[in-house]
Amino acid sequence: MAQINEEEGSIVARCPECRGGLSTFVWKSERGELGSITRPFKDRHWHDCQISYRLFQCGGCGMGALGVIKFGGDYNYPGKYNRLLRFTPEAKQRLAIPLSVPDGIRNEFSEAERCLENSCFRAAAGLFRSVLDKTMRANGYKTKKEFNLYKQIEAAANDGVITQARKKRAHDEIRVLGNDVLHDDWQEIPEEDVLAAQHYSQRILEDLYDDRTSVLSLLRDAGRVAEEDTVAEQSES
């Protein structure tokens, strides 16, 4: 969550363009203030209160952001007794996934995280389910026999590429939550449920792609044709 430096007026927050890394957002450069609208604000506790809608810039990548700050004193920001009311855009903590994860799945995971950051929880839940679905398919589990995601997860656990404990989490935290979005009537989804889907999606990607050579060996022993092997066969033919 974004925090304000009360003396300097800068904001420390996770930057979406810096892959969710913590960064300091400044409100002025060598040329002066980046821009703001400041006006009086009635507050029964503060008699000399202003509210400022203020532009900020990430000190790392230069991305712009907007902060809404209430502060006391005269109109010279940062004033005194300042309070950060709102700051946007702000990333949540983004989870690292193995470099060997295919680009399409990686992009799907990143888009799900962006939805989560913007409180689009239903969209994020659906995309994390899609990450799981595409991951199963990329590892040879989309077959006529195992045509739905439930059977694919069960098969992956039976083959030993994910543990029984991970299988349960894949069902409970990712598949079922995503199914609620895709198939049931509209209802609000708690943020903590989507955070769990994010966490276990990352864990499954780590299971399958962190030591890819070993996993490919398990898949071949089980008669699975992973995406890499399909590409290799097409190249040879």
Number of domains in the chain: 2
How many alpha carbons lie under 13 Å from residue 6 in its C-beta half-sphere?
A: 7
pLDDT of residue 72: 87
Indicate if 227 and 123 belong to the same structural domain.
yes
180 falls within a domain: yes
Least confident of 38-42, 78-82, 213-217, 231-235: 231-235
Closest CA to 204 of 159, 156, 148: 156
pLDDT of residue 101: 97
Indicate if 179 and 138 belong to the same structural domain.
yes
Reply yes or no on whether the pLDDT at 108 is more than 90: yes
146 falls within a domain: yes
Decide if 25 contacts 113 (C-beta within 8 A).
no
For the chain, give the mean pLDDT. 92
Question: CA dist 104 to 44, 138, 216, Å?
Answer: 53, 10, 19
Indicate if 180 and 210 belong to the same structural domain.
yes
CATH code of 179's domain: 1.20.120
Indicate if 82 and 107 belong to the same structural domain.
no
Report the distance separating Cα 29 and Cα 31, nearest Å: 5
Exposed / middle / buried, residue 212 (Cβ in 10 Å: 0-12, 13-18, 19+)? middle
- pLDDT tens sequence across 125-182: 999 999 999 999 999 999 888 889 999 999 999 999 999 999 999 999 999 999 999 8
Report the pLDDT averaged over residues 84-106: 93
pLDDT level of residue 26 (50, 70, 90 thresholds):
very high
96 falls within a domain: no
93 falls within a domain: no
Indicate if 82 and 195 belong to the same structural domain.
no
Indicate if 60 and 142 belong to the same structural domain.
no
Indicate if 68 and 138 belong to the same structural domain.
no
95 falls within a domain: no
Least confident of 91-100, 168-177, 192-201, 215-224: 91-100
In this prediction, what percent of the chain has a pLDDT beyond 70? 95
* Domain assignment of residue 148, given as a range: 103-236
Reply yes or no on whether the pLDDT at 188 is more than 80: yes
Indicate if 137 and 164 belong to the same structural domain.
yes
pLDDT of residue 184: 84
pLDDT level of residue 64 (50, 70, 90 thresholds):
very high
pLDDT of residue 91: 87
> Model's pTM, two decimal places?
0.76
Decide if 95 contacts 203 (C-beta within 8 A).
no
Reply yes or no on whether the pLDDT at 30 is more than 70: yes
Indicate if 147 and 205 belong to the same structural domain.
yes
Indicate if 117 and 223 belong to the same structural domain.
yes
